[in-house]
Chain A
Amino acid sequence: MSRKFKAALFKILMILSTLIISGSLILILWTIASRGVHALTWELVSRLPEGGFYIGKGGGLLNAILGSLYITVGSTLLGLLIAVPVVLYLNVYSREGSRLATVVRFTFDVLFGIPSIVYGAFGFTIMVWLGLRASLLAGIVTVTLVIIPILARAMDEVMRRTPGELSDQTYSLGATRWETSLVFLRQCAPGIMTAILLASGRAIGDAASVLFTAGYTDNLPGSLTQPAATLPLAIFFQLSSPIAEVQDRAYGAALILTAIVLLFSLSAHYFSKRLSKNKI
């Protein structure tokens, strides 16, 4: 094979894979849009399900939209509260070559690989053990478990790439490890935004972990102890209906879910750009 041929072959391969990736994205968007767009009415996003909603009568999915947002925001905040200190420990507090840090990182890799249905089953077991019913709180806690490894790994990756000189500088000025941590967070702010985006995207889209833990309801969750509906489950339940109109609503829900994720993505991009102006 001539070198020219090899180069041409590789170029064709690259173009093909690019087409496959962007093609499937367009296909997915087109599928949910074409089937969901006429189900997507103001009623669908602004009202709760009414009697007979699941056999094609009136109402909307406000319960699932708000439920999903509650769970996503709640679990992302709770996840940050746990993941940020761990990551700071790994990168600022622990000494280079620390064995504990290696163990913690390995643990996150393992946790990352666990399917979310297992987290769901785990959350369910704990709930039963504590005598709790499916609730918003249980959903938030379970989804938090799912996203902690995502948050921690993504943030750890960014912080590890931060040159060690940064802490040399702050320590030389007489900063404590806590003060150094704050500078680290500032330096890594764009990366942290990306981590939050990855995690919240996963949190809002995950069905398996909320199935048993958050439950499903046609009402808005009035408190943390009441069950909460979510968009992925709304899609799941409606898609399994034999009625075409209800199925279309499932695509409408998918469209709403995709739009929310897109909104997250765009805002994360915007903030990460603003935050990186001071980056080294």
Chain B
Amino acid sequence: MLKSQFLRTLLAAALFVSANLVNAAGPIKIGTFLTTTGPASFLGDPELKTLQMIVEDINAKGGLNGRNVELIHYDTGGNAREALNFVKRLIRKDNVDLIVGGTTSGDTLAVIPEVEKESIPLISLAGAVEIIEPARKWVFKVAHTDRMAAAKIFEDLRKRHLTQVALITGDGGFDKSGRAQILKLAPEYGITLVADESYGNKDTDMTTPLTKIRATSAQAIINFGFGQAPAIVTKNIKQLGIGLPVYQSHGVASQTFIDLAGDAAEGVRLPAAALVVAGQLADTDPQKPILLAYKKAYESKHGPVSTFGGHAYDGILIAAEAIKRAGGTDKVKVRDEIEKTQGFIGTAGVFNMTPEDHMGLNLDAFKMVEIHNGAWKIVE
């Protein structure tokens, strides 16, 4: 009788210990909500593939702090309300330790109140400066902002002593946000906007607004947008024989743009992440080996890399480093460690976060590139 009592106690103790062991060895759960279908799917698709690739890699190398990483993903389809629902599910049902994601600014901005309320670290992959301005306790981001792109273009204009600029933008969210930043920053750089024209992103001909620009005293043209519209603008500029320098945004920093615009793209300049010109960086550039390694790993599986996949790379690795330094998944500790990220070399640049700056990139993260013989060339 006594013996069986003892055995039972022993069994209970064993169960308790093993349950504890399982708990300690259970996976670290990283949640993500991306736009892998719908109009922004060409952004979310490489992001998800990159996250899966990195998680696989981390697990193959023994995980983080001896624990495997589990990625839990939901597709928002670019619908902000869905994004919020999925984030609630990630937090309450899946009990994730941290969230990486929000492909678009709209998705990210929609979930910020929830993330702040539930006190869980979020690393966004979207562009809008509003995500980190003002700095919120739990929200970080890794993608360049449109304000940085505008500033980089203005710096280059100043170097070329061009002060009269014509602006032409589409009717999408990215276009409008970029336009706002350009209008805001122009006076700081002593630049006068002599035209502010617009078009629809689905239009097939932009010669009408460009004809109006031709009649102004503009010395350069800035076009802010992504997709096929900037390529049509570039072709129309050539068609109309407007021989002015043309600046595009980081939204078209992909081979697709060169393919679409053809020889009209020659001489077009734009700010782009170093990933686009990885092979041309100086060998001393600390980013170079990282960019080439990511490019090789991604391209061996999925085809050409994009800067958007690069943002996912930066996001999840910053998270992984923070979890390692925090020695666990305590949310407050992980958050503090993300904020202390210093000298992290990612695909978008070198990250130095502070309590005031939850992105930590400076203008050097952008390279000014020019299209030359159908390929990118750094002009610094």
A binds B: no
Query: A residues touching B (Cβ–Cβ < 8 Å)?
Result: none
Query: B residues touching A (Cβ–Cβ < 8 Å)?
Result: none
